[in-house]
Amino acid sequence: MHEVEMQRLFKDDQMIRPMVDFVPSSEPGGPLMILKPFEQTLWEARNTRPFSVPEIKWIMKGVLLGLYTVHMKDLVYTDLKMENVGMQGFENDRPNENIRNLIVRLSDCGAISKPSQREVTSLTYRSPEIHFGKSWSQTCDIWSWGIIVNIASNITKLR
């Protein structure tokens, strides 16, 4: 199972949502990964209230740090979207007074791959080189990161 391999590869990384247990395939219904629970995703948080500018900066810095650790292993995350950013400590009713209490982690390692090795999902977040069938690399993750910044910023401006 590819995601289990990636979870094990990044087991010591602070910016990747960790696997806390694994039920092997010999078990009925297995294999099953058990990941550390998070209160919500960035996608869910964006529906509760507008983000403050400091929150956007802090959240997106955390996402960049997660991408950095993936990229340092010459891999591409390939499925960066708001649904795959786990969050802990987000205040649903008001901006976080201390943004350092807001924990951000990349949540889904199942699509991590070497550059140009697989089909990339999440049409909304795809970079131009993927749309045009060209070879792609870590830059496609940075494109997706920019899309998320834009969405988070525009939600703040529109409300």
What is the tally of structural domains in the chain? 1
* Domain encompassing residue 81: 38-158
Q: Which pLDDT belongs to residue 158?
A: 54
Task: Tell me if 146 is assigned to some domain.
Answer: yes
Q: In a structure prediction context, what are the per-residue pLDDT tens digits for the chain, which is 159 residues long?
A: 788 889 999 999 999 999 888 888 776 777 788 889 999 999 999 999 999 999 999 999 999 999 999 999 999 999 999 999 999 999 999 999 999 999 999 999 989 999 987 777 678 888 888 888 888 999 999 999 999 999 998 865 555
Residue 71 falls inside a structural domain: yes
Residue 31 lies in a domain: no
Active site residues: 79
CATH number at residue 69: 1.10.510.10
What pLDDT was estimated at residue 120?
A: 75
30 domain-assigned? no
Q: Burial letters for 101-118: b for 16+ Cβ neighbours within 10 Å, e otherwise?
A: ebbbbbbbbbbbbeeeee
The reply to whether 6 falls in a domain is no
Residue 76 lies in a domain: yes
Global confidence as pTM: 0.89
